[in-house]
Amino acid sequence: MKMILRLSAICLLFAGSAVALTGERFAEIPLEKMSPAQRVVADAIMTGPRKRMSGPFNAWLRSPELADRLQKVGEYVRFNTSLDKRINEMAILMTAQAWGSQYEWYAHAPLAIKAGLDPAVVAAIGAGRKPDTMKDDEAIVWEFTTQLRRDHGVDDAIYARALEKFGEAGIMDLVAVNGYYDVVSMTLNVAHVAPPAGEELPFRQAGR
């Protein structure tokens, strides 16, 4: 009987460990337990345009200087690039899909549609296929981002199209959106940040 109880306890211990390992890896840091450096960053995020500590920020707080530098870059690439919000969000969705980052998709798909991206385009990106119908600037972003991810560069033809449409500043902003949200998606995947239960997502979470 004692042996059975001991084995049951061990099974429960391992079951609890399995649950812990599948949950979010970085516990939320309450404001009152943050270091002064962490509090400065948290205050900057919560009083800025985001208004809340969601997504990668809780994990980034483990390295406050990194968190501060990244959140400043993120504020620019999300809210202030030279690109139209619609194609800015399109590039973010392509990044989320490429990394299998469900939280990133959950957070930005509604923003993309609100910014004017056709839901059919959003659905195609989520399915990992080229949308059948896109506006000219969307087609450029699709091809530029696809080449950048697949080939680690872009050819002269798409570079010329992007240059004519967006200018040099726009090209660099598009590269930065891709790069920043790569870091965001990697963080979310490593930290196991998940969307709310019951959300319908178009792809499986990477690593799960």
Q: Which residue has the higher pLDDT, 3 or 53?
A: 53
- Tokens 């980052």 label which residue? 101
d(CA 145, CA 153): 9
Coil, helix or strand at residue 177:
helix
56-83, pLDDT tens digit by residue? 999 999 999 999 999 999 999 999 999 9
Residues 121 and 144 in one domain: yes
12-37, pLDDT tens digit by residue? 333 333 333 357 899 999 989 999 99
Residues 49 and 140 in one domain: no
Overall domain count for the chain? 2
Can you give the residue range of the structural domain that contains 161?
A: 83-191
Answer yes or no: is 208 within a domain.
no
d(CA 34, CA 29): 6
Last residue of a domain, one of 33, 64, 80: 80
Please state the pTM of the whole predicted model: 0.86
Answer yes or no: is 207 within a domain.
no
Q: Which residue has the higher pLDDT, 27 or 4?
A: 27
Residues 87 and 114 in one domain: yes
**Across the chain, what does the average pLDDT equal?**
89
69-87 burial, b at 16+ Cβ within 10 Å, e below that, comes to ebbeebeebbeebebbbbb
pLDDT beyond 70 at 10: no
Answer yes or no: is 55 within a domain.
yes
137-190, pLDDT tens digit by residue? 999 999 999 999 999 999 999 999 999 999 999 999 999 999 999 999 999 999
Last residue of a domain, one of 35, 63, 80: 80
Q: What is the pLDDT of residue 22?
A: 52
Residues 113 and 180 in one domain: yes
Q: What is the pLDDT of residue 181?
A: 98
Answer yes or no: is 157 within a domain.
yes
76-109, pLDDT tens digit by residue? 999 999 999 999 999 999 999 999 999 999 999 9
d(CA 104, CA 117): 16
Answer yes or no: is 87 within a domain.
yes
Last residue of a domain, one of 80, 112, 145: 80
Residues 65 and 161 in one domain: no
Residues 87 and 166 in one domain: yes
Residues 135 and 54 in one domain: no
Residues 102 and 120 in one domain: yes
How far does CA 62 lie from the centroid of its chain? 18
Answer yes or no: is 182 within a domain.
yes
Residues 181 and 94 in one domain: yes
Please give the C-alpha separations between residue 47 and each of 41, 67, 92, 127, in angstroms, as whole numbers.
10, 15, 23, 36
Q: What is the pLDDT of residue 144?
A: 99
198-207, pLDDT tens digit by residue? 888 888 888 7
Residues 166 and 136 in one domain: yes
pLDDT beyond 70 at 38: yes
